[in-house]
Structure 1
Amino acid sequence: MKHIDFLFNKIIRFIEIFLVSIFGLLVLDVLWQVFSRYILKTSFSWTEELARFSLIWLSILGAAYLNAKREHLSMDFVYQKLSIKKQKKVSLIIEVLIFLFAAIVMVVGGFNLVYITLKLNQLSGTLQIPLGYIYAIMPFSGLLIMCFSVYHMSKIYTNKLVD
């Protein structure tokens, strides 16, 4: 189990670095957009599209990261009132539901979206990037969430997960 914990922590660290990089790119892009518009008195059309795509990747991959850290939004007032045994059962049910959502909506739906946009050769308006590459973050993050959910279920089952 220590090997899995090591791998889990390495994946989370890589995602952290990648998310910070995307955020840095987003900040630089928006700063350039503002600078060029107000100082240079010209506007580059690609900056808005790059910001939009960066935000898509940041939010969807960020959701997978938050799932890994178990810091996603939740209201746990009722959960905290339950006994430890019932909290364990509820936690397992929640992880199964997260797994199913990620599998059906993000992975299956995401792969379908990527496949269709690549097959139709849809390109972004300004950057001319195939939209399938932009949308590929959806099934990738879905797979990550599924892996994280299995990891959390194993921790819940062995009583090693602390909320």
Structure 2
Amino acid sequence: MSKVDVIFNKVLKILEWIMIMIFALLVLDVLFQVFSRYLLGKSFTWTEEFARFALIWMTILGAAYLNGKKQHLSMDFLYQKFSSSNQKKVAVLIQALIFLFALIVMVTGGLNLVYTTLHLEQLSGTLRIPLGYVYAIMPFSGFLIMCFSLYHIFNIYNTKEI
């Protein structure tokens, strides 16, 4: 296994643990909200906002993770009809399109969103944290997706993997 493969697997493992931690915090947050509302008779407003932010982070990080594992949603009926050499070309094209989407929408657009919200000093309603920190997951995940796409293109060219 090459150094790149080792780094790739470590990044995926770290992503797994980050998502597990976010999910655990989300579960604890929702359980605390239910406990406080029904047993204490008091509802804390910050728990709903935290749950929303945790779900956003988990979803966007999950998209990067699934891209890295090549388990993202795809419809491959037409793809399966191609010859083996054409499947390789189409696989590279798909990864290139994923790379471009991540670059343009997630990284460029995400950095613009983060910059704008931080510059305007927008704060979340209840937690009062800068929204730029919440939105920072978008360019981070986009960068990961770009790296994973390059890794997959490299593997398509250097192995028989499709």
Query: Could you say which residue in structure 2 is the equivalent of 1:60?
Result: 60
**Counterparts of 1:91 and 1:61 in 2: how far apart (Å)?**
23
Shift of residue 113, structure 1, vs aligned partner: 0.2
Shift of residue 39, structure 1, vs aligned partner: 1.1
Uncovered stretches (5+) of structure 1, i.e. residues with no partner: none
Query: Could you say which residue in structure 2 is the equivalent of 1:117?
Result: 117
**Counterparts of 2:141 and 2:158 in 1: how far apart (Å)?**
26
**Counterparts of 2:45 and 2:28 in 1: how far apart (Å)?**
15
**Counterparts of 1:12 and 1:72 in 2: how far apart (Å)?**
14
SS in 2 for 1:40: coil
Query: Could you say which residue in structure 1 is the equivalent of 2:74?
Result: 74
Shift of residue 131, structure 1, vs aligned partner: 0.3
Query: Could you say which residue in structure 1 is the equivalent of 2:142?
Result: 142
Shift of residue 158, structure 1, vs aligned partner: 1.2
**Counterparts of 1:9 and 1:160 in 2: how far apart (Å)?**
19
Q: Deviations over 1:57-109 (max 9, x none)?
A: 00001000000000000011111121110110110000000000000000000
Aligned length: 162
Query: Could you say which residue in structure 2 is the equivalent of 1:130?
Result: 130
- TM-score normalised according to structure 2 size: 0.98
**Counterparts of 2:160 and 2:54 in 1: how far apart (Å)?**
36
Query: Could you say which residue in structure 2 is the equivalent of 1:155?
Result: 155
Q: Deviations over 1:112-154 (max 9, x none)?
A: 0000000000010111110000000000000000000000000
Query: Could you say which residue in structure 2 is the equivalent of 1:96?
Result: 96
**Counterparts of 2:126 and 2:63 in 1: how far apart (Å)?**
27
Q: Deviations over 1:25-81 (max 9, x none)?
A: 001101111111111111000000000000000000100000000000001111112
Q: Which runs of 4 or more aligned residues in structure 1 lie more than 4 Å from their structure 2 counterparts after TM superposition?
A: none
Shift of residue 159, structure 1, vs aligned partner: 2.3
Counterpart amino acid of residue 15 in structure 1: L
Query: Could you say which residue in structure 2 is the equivalent of 1:34?
Result: 34
The answer to which of 30-39 and 153-162 deviates more is 153-162
Identity %: 66
Query: Could you say which residue in structure 2 is the equivalent of 1:43?
Result: 43
* Cα-Cα RMSD: 0.9
- TM-score normalised according to structure 1 size: 0.97
Counterpart amino acid of residue 74 in structure 1: S
Please state if 1:16 is matched with 2:13.
no
